Amino acid sequence: AQTIHQWPVAEIKAVGSPLSLGCTIKGKSSPNLYWYWQATGGTLQQLFYSITVGQVESVVQLNLSASRPKDDQFILSTEKLLLSHSGFYLCAWSPPGELYFGPGTRLTVL
């Protein structure tokens, strides 16, 4: 069975500080991987997707970047956090038309 892990579980960071969020998936080779962002009480916004190692497509511009250094790993990062980056970050993998989400990372930017 596939399992998806995210780290850290939660972060409290200062405006202007760097950020790195991680996601790994086990039990699935060459998965399509996604980063989603969810504002408190809001819907989900797709940020990035990746269909293979080293290839990442950006969906929206939020002063964030993503990388896929390994087949099972997806990283979300920024060098300078903004207040608007606060929210819930979810990693997911996808067979056609479905998404299986990780547990998420709660980010608070102060």
Partner 1 sequence: GEQVEQRPPHLSVREGDSAIIICTYTDSATAYFSWYKQEAGAGLQLLMSVLSNVDRKEEQGLTVLLNKKDKRLSLNLTAAHPGDSAVYFCAVSATSSGQKLVFGQGTILKVYL
Q: Are 69 and 13 in contact (CB under 8 A)?
A: no
Q: Are 15 and 82 in contact (CB under 8 A)?
A: yes
Q: How far is the CB of 104 from partner 1 (least distance, A)?
A: 5
61 is a contact residue toward partner 1 (CB under 8 A) = no
46 is a contact residue toward partner 1 (CB under 8 A) = yes
54 is a contact residue toward partner 1 (CB under 8 A) = no
Q: Are 67 and 75 in contact (CB under 8 A)?
A: yes
Residue 17 or 55 with smaller CB distance to partner 1: 55
43 is a contact residue toward partner 1 (CB under 8 A) = yes
Q: Using CB under 8 A, pick the residue from 7, 13, 32, 53 that binds partner 1.
A: 32
**Which residues bind to partner 1, rule: CB under 8 A?**
32, 42-44, 46, 49, 51, 57, 90, 92, 94-104, 106
